[in-house]
Amino acid sequence: MANQRTGLDGPTRAEGLISGRTAIEIAESVKVAIKQGAFRSGDALPPIRALAETLGVNRNTVASAYRHLSDAGVIEGKGRQGSRVAVQNGAASRGPTMLHDIGGGNPDSRLLPDVKAVLNQSAWLPRGYEDPPDNPALIDFARRELADDGMPLGDVWIANGTFDAIEMILRSYLQPGDTVAVEDPCFMTTLGLVRELGFPPVPMAVDDQGVLPTAMEEALKKGVKAMILTPRAHNPFGGSWTAKRRDELARVIRRYEDVILIEDDHFAPLSPFKPVTLASDDRPHWAIIRSVSKYVGPDLRLAFVNSSDGLAKNVSGLAAFSYRWVSGVLQAAVLATLTSKDYPRIIRDASQAYAARRQILLDALKDAGIEAHGADGINVWIPVADEQAITRRLMENGWIVRPGDIFRLESGQAIRVTVSTMTDREAGELAALLANLQRQGAVQRGA
């Protein structure tokens, strides 16, 4: 007999675990809740009508999400009892017993350092309101890493992640209505942030070597006040600058010295590409941001910011009246991890694993005649004819991917696939499924 729980503390609590505006987003949030243990086998899901009202969507949208999950064998209908998480009893199911979540953009947790074990062996002292905000030893570590990578060294400081840093920089310099140049496609959080702050985004097209020089020139001629770039492991397209591309971009941006230059080098130690930058000592406003999320863990909300002295001074005034400092516990955990004896090996193993998994999928897609992009990073960008349709069809077959519309401004339709945990078998199965959909006209054929 199925478990009669009603989703933790009842339907209201259950509804709070589910989010989204589209059927795909709602289905994905249910899957994540199951994966994290918030829902267990036999748990009741909220009724369609009630969940639709909570989320502010049409009932048909929720019904479609439930249908996708049911077709995949994740949930099952119980007549008047409603929908429940499928009970896994070893019997054959109508479809996959669990969805392949390849849309989240997360690193492989098995390749991350054991931060708790390292922190247990490290020293940490409580801090007071009057103490300096940044751990001097952590700043010294960051400066050495940046110097070894040939970066210009300005004022190095610590922020609560990449987007905290970007927000502080933009708010310190820009006025509502000022425009910001972003890559197209662009990381969804970057796009959402500039819009939320009231800074209209201006798109710059990209290819496998990063932003195109002609696209950068066009954006600069439009009078953008700031520019956000990804030198390596562009998310979602995967491009990384070659030395030639970096020099081409440098010749363009050199003529616009007042534009604020922000570089998001989030994949830094994991990238096989050499570190490059457009920042220079003679440029007045620049920042190179390196988050630890991809190689220490997404929950460690910390980023190193290497910036021009004038920029750092401007931001510090705003920071003093907002987040003030990054937790000393967090800084101690990151420092202990980055200086542990196992850290170099962990980084090397993770870098090689991600490169191999990415290439396996790219090769499988190429063999199937499917165009794809992913020169670096943990994501692959696959152009498609109808991203909503292909996302829905993949979901029906047990695969969760990200539709491209959350990343795009003017670029063509596509889906983003995260390869961080992908196996050889999954790569082959996904390529075969996409090849079948290609024959039906939903996926673009490669060159």
Confidence of residue 3 (pLDDT cuts 50, 70, 90): very low
Confidence of residue 11 (pLDDT cuts 50, 70, 90): very low
Same-domain status, 213 and 248: yes
Same-domain status, 57 and 128: no
pLDDT of residue 127: 72
Residue 156, in any domain of the structure: yes
Q: Is the pLDDT of residue 263 over 80?
A: yes
Q: Examine the fold and report which residue of 295, 323, 338 is the final residue of a domain before the chain moves on.
A: 338
pLDDT of residue 122: 67
Same-domain status, 73 and 222: no
Looking at per-residue confidence, does 13 or 406 come out higher? Answer: 406
Residue 109, in any domain of the structure: no
Residue 213, in any domain of the structure: yes
At 165-189, the pLDDT tens digits run: 999 999 999 999 999 999 999 999 9
For the ranges 62-71, 198-207, 212-221, which has the lowest average pLDDT? Answer: 62-71
At 20-61, the pLDDT tens digits run: 877 777 887 888 888 777 888 888 889 988 898 888 888 878
The CATH number of whichever domain residue 44 belongs to comes to 1.10.10.10
Q: Examine the fold and report which residue of 307, 338, 369 is the final residue of a domain before the chain moves on.
A: 338
Q: What mean pLDDT do residues 425-439 have?
A: 92
Domain count, the chain: 3
Residue 108, in any domain of the structure: no
Same-domain status, 177 and 312: yes
pLDDT of residue 91: 40
Same-domain status, 147 and 271: yes
Q: Is the pLDDT of residue 268 over 90?
A: yes
pLDDT of residue 447: 47
Q: Which residues form the domain of 394?
A: 343-439
Looking at per-residue confidence, does 119 or 393 come out higher? Answer: 393
Residue 4, in any domain of the structure: no
Looking at per-residue confidence, does 31 or 213 come out higher? Answer: 213
For the ranges 110-119, 137-146, 151-160, 243-252, which has the lowest average pLDDT? Answer: 110-119
pLDDT of residue 355: 97
Same-domain status, 328 and 350: no
pLDDT of residue 411: 96
Same-domain status, 118 and 151: yes
pLDDT of residue 442: 60
Confidence of residue 123 (pLDDT cuts 50, 70, 90): low
Same-domain status, 176 and 300: yes
Residue 103, in any domain of the structure: no
Looking at per-residue confidence, does 73 or 151 come out higher? Answer: 151
Q: What mean pLDDT do residues 138-142 have?
A: 96
At 367-377, the pLDDT tens digits run: 999 999 999 99
Q: What mean pLDDT do residues 259-272 have?
A: 97
Confidence of residue 104 (pLDDT cuts 50, 70, 90): confident
Residue 275, in any domain of the structure: yes
Q: How many CB atoms lie within 10 A of CB 175?
A: 9
Q: What mean pLDDT do residues 314-334 have?
A: 83
Q: Examine the fold and report which residue of 338, 366, 393 is the final residue of a domain before the chain moves on.
A: 338
Residue 6, in any domain of the structure: no
pLDDT of residue 96: 42
Same-domain status, 72 and 118: no
- What's the sign of the alpha-carbon dihedral 358, 103, 405, 245? negative
Looking at per-residue confidence, does 98 or 21 come out higher? Answer: 21
Confidence of residue 6 (pLDDT cuts 50, 70, 90): very low
Same-domain status, 350 and 247: no
Mean pLDDT for all residues in the chain: 87
The CATH number of whichever domain residue 256 belongs to comes to 3.40.640.10
Same-domain status, 144 and 207: yes
Looking at per-residue confidence, does 98 or 334 come out higher? Answer: 334
Q: What mean pLDDT do residues 351-374 have?
A: 97
Same-domain status, 150 and 83: no
